[in-house]
Amino acid sequence: MNELEIPRIYSIKTTDKETLRKWLYLMIIGRAIDDKAPNYLKQAIGWSYHAPYAGHDGIQLAVGYHFEKNKDHIFLYYREMLTAMACGMTAEEIILNGISKATDPSSAGRHMSNHFAKPEWNIHSVSSSTGNHTLHAVGVARAIKYYGEKAVAISGQGESSVSEGYVYEAFNGADKEQLPVIFVIQDNGYGISVPKKDQTANRKVANNFIGLKHTRIIHCNGKDVFDSMNAMAEAKRITIEESKPVILQANCVRIHSHSNSDDHLLYRNEMERNYVQDYDPLGKFRRLLVRYNRFSEAEIEEIEQEARAELKLAHKAAMSAPDPSPESIYDFVLPEPYVSEIYPDGLHNEHGEKKKLITGLNETLKAEFRHNPDTFIWGQDMANKDKGGIFNVSKGLQKEFGEKRVFNAPIAEDFIMGTANGMSRYNDKIRVVVEGAEFADYFWPAMEQYVDTSHDYWRSNGKFSPNIVIRLASGGYIGGGMYHSQNIEGSLASIPGVRIVYPSFADDAAGLLRTAMRSRGLTMIMEPKALYQDPKAATVIPDDFEVPFGKARVRKEGKDITVLTYGNTTHLCIDAANKLEHEGFSLEVIDLRSLVPLDEETILKSVEKTNKVLIVHEDKVFGGFGGELAAIISDKAFNLLDAPIKRVGSTFTPVGFNRILEKAILPNAEKIYKAAKDLLDY
């Protein structure tokens, strides 16, 4: 391939002395910390994870130097200590992160050491899942482009993480949308001990992406300050002036082991260990400064002394900084949600025309898009003329709000989720709604981003809240089979940091969606797709209806059994309760609406009255959310129970396609009726 001609803006002979001094100072103090970090572990102070950057100095200095805080957005991977310092983070801040202090600006000691961040400057909090923030960079670049800012998103990673599928998703998406993002690949030839040849056939991994239509690929010598500076300057110019993505691969050396849990003596011979030392970027920079008479040895010695003095003070200050308190662990799991003043319990007495569940969702989406101009939605099969999602829930949105706010995503669930996370990093006003997958059980490829996003608010110590609503069409009763009929909330509910709601009726679907779209934080709405068009789920919906999280709704009052349910099975429970009513029994059917947070108060109040509990959901009994409900009730209300807690749900099998199989697997009114009868016999 033809290499891009890179203008030579910086060189040893022309760059001004003040700039050279600044660079040298950063390189010297950075390296001093890089070398000192393992001592904190040896002295049992902390910093148990340190990935030394020595050998990456040129490119890291260049990346940080080109970052403009509060304007550009940057995502550093765990080896980017010098980038962090070149972005402006101080030696003290680096050590605070290393030894996990409460005043660590990255995470207040919550996240692993060497994960440098300062969200208030747009140095974003990142995952340990290497390369996953490429998707976040794409998302925030989408916002940069949408809002017309002359800024850039920069994402750093090692060459091995380019093997991850989601990195391809990020590169492809950035290319398709022509976004101002620079993907910097710092290539030191190893993924821990795994050599590059075991990752991909192409030594220059960036060249795996030469087919991308709009993306520019630049190679540079990451060990050389000037080559790296010129490459970054050109990359930034291309992204900002031409709005094209750039993949910049910088060749580096890894002078030390991968981290302090790795020993490179086990897999690198002496010759290799020696020659990577010979190619130490700091050594080369110093030699150039002296050779071309830009600095004398005495001047360099003076800078070294200055750096040593700063490091000493930084160390002292960090050591005396407070540790995080154990009481703080529950802070910032989820932000406080939007508070409904008109419908504090999520109930209404409106009369009039009933609307279907799908209509409730569609009209609420439109109303909220009108309410907040910084609202966006994307997903698969989402927006093409009259088509709005696989079930047409978002029909008409693109026509009214345009292609920049309502658009199709590539068939890449992790991309859908990851760019939602990234775009919401741009500012706190933005609300992103995603159709996470065509059907809920296609969501699994997005789990990587889902889990990561669930950490964000806690991990950043409340500095970044991903303000996202994920909509998923869930459940069966449509003869859909696997990937089209299953429930996944039992698996998802075990992950903290996400609200999970699962309405059964049109009004609640509308009210929960509105609350979710007005709240900060991550909310998952499971939509029972079998009820989208079903008249039995249709209700009157007040135009401004809101349902708070964690408020269950008693759908039928009773005194003999408390039935806890949600989604499709709410209707089946009501049917069973009606049947039993004719037999003289009264069941109290509680529609949970919200699984996380859970309305324990309403549940326990009902159990106090009925002393018997039947839990019904569509998901599998084994490992389903009902197990958690049963455990809570056993723990908090054992004395109130007159019978064992009974559960009805799917069999511990996949959901079959043939209607006969589906019927045998999913719960129905008859199965619920029988279980209730058993309970009544106690």
Partner 1 sequence: MSNKVIIYSFHTQKSKKVAEKIIEAFGNENIVAVNAEELTSEIFEKNDHFILSAPTWFDGELPNYWDEFIPELEDMDLSNKTFAVFGLGDQQGYPENYCDAIGILVEVLEKCGATIVGKIPAGGYTFESSRALRGDHFVGLPLDQENQAKLTGERVKRWVEQLKIEMR
Q: Residue 42 or residue 291: which is nearer to partner 1 going by CB?
A: 291
Q: Cis link prior to 597 (omega < 30° from 0)?
A: yes
With binding defined as CB under 8 A, does residue 160 bind partner 1?
no
Could you tell me which of 409, 467, 465 has the C-alpha nearest to residue 442? 409
Tokens of 390: 């696989």
Considering only 263, 278, 323, 428, the residue that binds partner 1 (CB under 8 A) is 278
Task: Say whether residue 221 binds partner 1 (CB under 8 A).
Answer: yes
CA of residue 42 relative to chain centroid, distance: 34
Q: Which is nearer to partner 1, 1 or 44 (CB)?
A: 1
Rounded (to 5) percent helix, strand, coil in the chain: 45, 15, 40
Question: How many residues contact partner 1, by CB under 8 A?
Answer: 20
CA proximity to 127, closest of 447, 472, 410, 596: 447
Q: Is residue 11 close enough to count as binding partner 1 by CB under 8 A?
A: yes
Q: Which of 66, 73, 484, 571 is catalytic?
A: 484
Site stretch for partner 1 (CB under 8 A), options 232-240, 276-284, 447-455, 650-658: 276-284
Q: Are 366 and 543 in contact (CB under 8 A)?
A: no
Does residue number 447 form part of the binding site for partner 1 (CB under 8 A)? no
| Interface of this chain with partner 1, residues 282 to 311, rule: CB under 8 A | 284, 287-288, 291-292
Part of the chain binding partner 1 (CB under 8 A), chosen from 5-13, 26-34, 54-62, 165-173:
5-13
Tell the residue number behind the tokens 């909220």, with chain if given: 368
Minimum distance between the CB of residue 193 and partner 1, rounded to whole angstroms?
18
- Give me the DSSP letters along 174-218: HHHHT--EEEEEEE-SEETTEEGGGT-S-SSGGGGGTT-SS-EEE
Nearest distance, CB of residue 78 and partner 1, angstroms? 23
Among 202, 208, 491, 586, binds partner 1 (CB under 8 A): 202
* 42 near partner 1, judged by CB under 8 A: no
Q: Which of 257, 654, 276 is nearest to 484 (CA)?
A: 654
Q: How many whole angstroms separate alpha carbon 482 and alpha carbon 472?
A: 15
Q: Does 385 bind partner 1 (CB under 8 A)?
A: no
The distance of closest approach from Cβ of residue 485 to partner 1 in the complex, given in angstroms and rounded to an integer, is: 49
Residue 207 touching partner 1 (CB under 8 A): yes
Question: From the list 203, 308, 536, 636, which residue makes contact with partner 1 (rule: CB under 8 A)?
Answer: 203
- Residue 21 or 284 having the CB closest to partner 1: 284
Nearest CA to 122 out of 80, 79, 84, 81 is that of: 84
Two tokens, residue 125: 């909090």
- Residues from 84 through 113 that contact partner 1 (CB under 8 A): none
| Residue 598 makes contact with partner 1 by CB under 8 A | no
| CA 161/CA 170 separation, integer angstroms | 12
Structure tokens at 344: 């504090």
- Name the segment binding partner 1 (CB under 8 A); options: 31-39, 201-209, 343-351, 412-420: 201-209
Minimum CB distance to partner 1, residue 235 (Å): 18
Minimal distance, residue 275 CB to partner 1, in Å: 9
Q: Encode 396-450 in three state secondary structure.
A: CHHHHHCCCCEEECCCCHHHHHHHHHHHHCCCCCCEEEEECCCCHHHCHHHHHHH
Q: Tell me the window of 35-43, 198-206, 583-591, 611-619 that interacts with partner 1 (CB under 8 A).
A: 198-206
Minimum Å distance from CB 219 to partner 1?
8
Q: Closer to partner 1 at the Cβ: 24 or 526? A: 24
Q: Give whichever of 31 and 612 is closer to partner 1, judged by the CB atom.
A: 31
* 169 to 188: interface string for partner 1, x by CB under 8 A: ------------------x-
- Rounded to whole angstroms, how far apart are CA atoms 63 and 120? 19
Q: What are the phi and psi torsion angles at 191 (to 5°)?
A: -110, 100
Residue 484 a catalytic site member: yes
Dist. CA 425–CA 144, nearest whole Å: 11
CB-wise, 288 or 648, nearer to partner 1?
288
Tokens of 382: 């989402």
Q: 55 with 252: CB under 8 angstroms?
A: yes
Residue positions annotated with a catalytic role: 484
Residues that bind partner 1 (CB under 8 A): 11-13, 187, 202-204, 207, 219, 221, 224, 251, 253, 278-279, 284, 287-288, 291-292
